[in-house]
Amino acid sequence: MAEDFEARPTSPQIACLQGVRDADIVVLILGERYGPVQPTGLSATHEEYREARGTKHVLAFVQQGVTPEPRQAELITEVQDWEAGLFRGGFADAEDLHAGIIRALHDVALTDAVGTADPEELTRRALALIPPENRNMSSTGATVDIAIAMGPRQQVLRPVEIESRDLSEHVLQSVLFGPDRLFSPSLGNKVEIADGALVIRQDRGAFLRLSEDGSILILQPLDEPSTGRGWDMGGHMVIIQEIVQQRIATALGFATTLIDHIDATQRLTHAAVAVRIAGAEYRAWRTRSQNDASPDSVTIGMGERNHQPVVKVQRRAALRVDRSRLIEDLLVPLRRQFPAG
């Protein structure tokens, strides 16, 4: 707050903006009021957010259960629409906000800490989790395969815990009804222990495997269910960028929550994320707008192509606070492996 600064020969507005520039981290707390409008046409908080955006870690917390003023609602939308470098959370009261800020600051600190995990060993393990590609696409269609190897390598789940009903029921409930839902509630599921890991399968290629060392493999179908309105070029001949992005985001959100559940004391400090698109040898890559503009024609690749996994090694905390940037770093190399449609 401007009144907290020592005497300065500048206006409170400049003092606050300079405070943002000098800060390591900016915590943005958005309630229902927008605040007085400055000469720029923005509130002081809005100015400070724009000053921080793109140059600082921004931890944004939006109050729940209130009706924001119209301009405050616009600011909240602007914050929520901006992805890179931003952590977002909600809060109900001061105690909830206090806990959320502490957790977010802790996660940011961990992203910059020096750890003991071996990046090359993590990369090898993440790549080894990716299954051999099944060229018979008739049953499952295209999938995005996300493998997450955790380190330093150690046992975080004992065999009896992997086989426990409590764990399988918790994971199944999360994949079907959690905030980062992986599976469709309308389809059947098969839960089993395979090679010492908890495995959940569903029709159309959805798959989850959780290992004793905390490693996770998630397969997500990319093809949308048929609408019954005839041929859907976007669902059969192209890869839609926004669908890939959403599937990766959902998988990483689910995996972050699951890792927190099985390793609450954070023995695992690093993660290698490997992503590959399978079952899409002849497809082109498009955005939704490109596909909507030309839904009935597409340029497909000639000859089989082997789509290689893309790997990023991160601090575990980055799965939460730097997820949007991680998704971008995975998505762009994936896109380059496909012809533009």
Instruction: Map out the domains of the chain as residue ranges.
Output: 2-111, 119-336
Average pLDDT over residues 217-243: 70
Looking at the predicted structure, is the pLDDT value of residue 262 above 80?
Answer: yes
State residue 208's pLDDT score: 97
| Residue 12 scores a pLDDT above 90 | no
Question: What value does the mean pLDDT take over residues 194-199?
Answer: 96
**Lowest pLDDT segment from 108-117, 148-157, 260-269, 292-301:** 108-117
pLDDT band at 204 (very low <50, low <70, confident <90, very high): confident
pLDDT of residue 301: 56
- Mean pLDDT over 317-340 rounds to 89
Residue 228: predicted pLDDT: 44
In the prediction, which pLDDT does 3 show? 53
* 8 A C-beta contact, residue 17 and residue 26: no
Mean pLDDT, residues 108-117 taken together: 65
63: its two tokens: 């109050």
Predicted confidence band at 94 (pLDDT cuts at 50, 70, 90)? Answer: very high
Is the model more confident about 137 or about 55? 55
Phi-psi region of 4 (alpha: psi -120 to 50; beta: other; left: phi over 0): alpha
Asked whether residue 231 carries a pLDDT value surpassing 90, the answer given is no
pLDDT of residue 116: 64
Q: Give me the pLDDT at residue 137, please.
A: 43
- The arithmetic mean of pLDDT across residues 43-54, rounded, is 87
Spell out the residues 6+ positions from residue 153 whose beta carbon is closer than 8 angstroms to its own: 121, 125, 213
Q: What is the pLDDT of residue 79?
A: 87
Q: CB neighbours of 312 closer than 8 A, spacing ≥ 6? A: 272, 273, 326, 329, 330
DSSP per position, 97-132: HHHHHHHHHHHHHHHTS-----HHHHHHHHHHHSPP
For the chain, the average pLDDT equals: 85
- Strand residues in 21-85 grouped as ranges (E): 25-30, 57-63
Q: Cα dist. 37→28, 46, 141, 174, 241 in Å?
A: 17, 9, 53, 43, 39
Of all residues in the chain, the percent with pLDDT exceeding 90 is: 51
Q: Nearest 5 degrees, angle CA 61-CA 66-CA 71?
A: 75
Q: Interior CA angle at 204 toward 199 and 208, to 5°? A: 20
Among candidate residues 220, 240, 235, the one with its CA nearest the CA of residue 286 = 240
Whether the upstream peptide bond of residue 152 has omega within 30° of 0, thus cis, is: yes
Q: Give which of 151, 102, 87, 142 is closest to 280, Cα–Cα.
A: 142
Mean pLDDT of 218-240: 66
More confident call, 83 vs 210: 210
Mean pLDDT lowest for which of 37-51, 77-91, 120-134, 148-162?
77-91
Q: How many secondary structure helices (H) and strands (E) does the chain include? A: 12, 12
Sequence-distant (≥ 6) Cβ neighbours of residue 34 within 8 angstroms = 43, 45, 46, 68, 69, 70, 71, 72, 75
Report the predicted TM-score, pTM, of the whole model to 2 decimal places. Answer: 0.68
Share of the chain above pLDDT 70, in %: 84
The whole-number average pLDDT for the span 117-137 is 84
How many residues are present in the chain? 341
Residue in 143, 144, 149 with CA at minimum distance from that of residue 127: 149
Strands 238-240 and 284-286: parallel
Please tell me the distance from the alpha carbon of residue 151 to that of residue 116, in angstroms, as a whole number.
Answer: 9
Query: Which pLDDT score is estimated for 141?
Result: 80
Segment 291-320 shows an average pLDDT of: 77
Residue 4 phi, psi (nearest 5): -85, -15
Q: ∠ at Cα 309 (304, 311), nearest 5°?
A: 160
Predicted pLDDT of residue 295 = 74
Angle formed at CA 341 by CA 297 and CA 144, multiple of 5 degrees? 115
The conformation of residue 301, written as its DSSP 8-state character, comes to: P
Least confident of 35-49, 89-103, 136-150, 184-198: 136-150
The arithmetic mean of pLDDT across residues 271-280, rounded, is 93
Q: Write the single-letter amino acid at 118.
A: D
CB 317 within 8 A of CB 108: yes
Which phi and psi (to 5°) does residue 220 adopt? -120, 125
Give how far Cα 277 sits from Cα of 81, 135, 331, Å. 26, 12, 10
204 or 248: which leads in pLDDT? 248
| Residue 262: closest CA among 196, 313, 215, 306 | 215
Q: Determine the average pLDDT of the residues in 72-83.
A: 85
> What average pLDDT does the segment 221-225 reach?
77
Higher pLDDT, 197 or 86: 197
Q: Is the pLDDT of residue 317 over 60?
A: yes
Indicate whether 247 pLDDT > 80.
yes
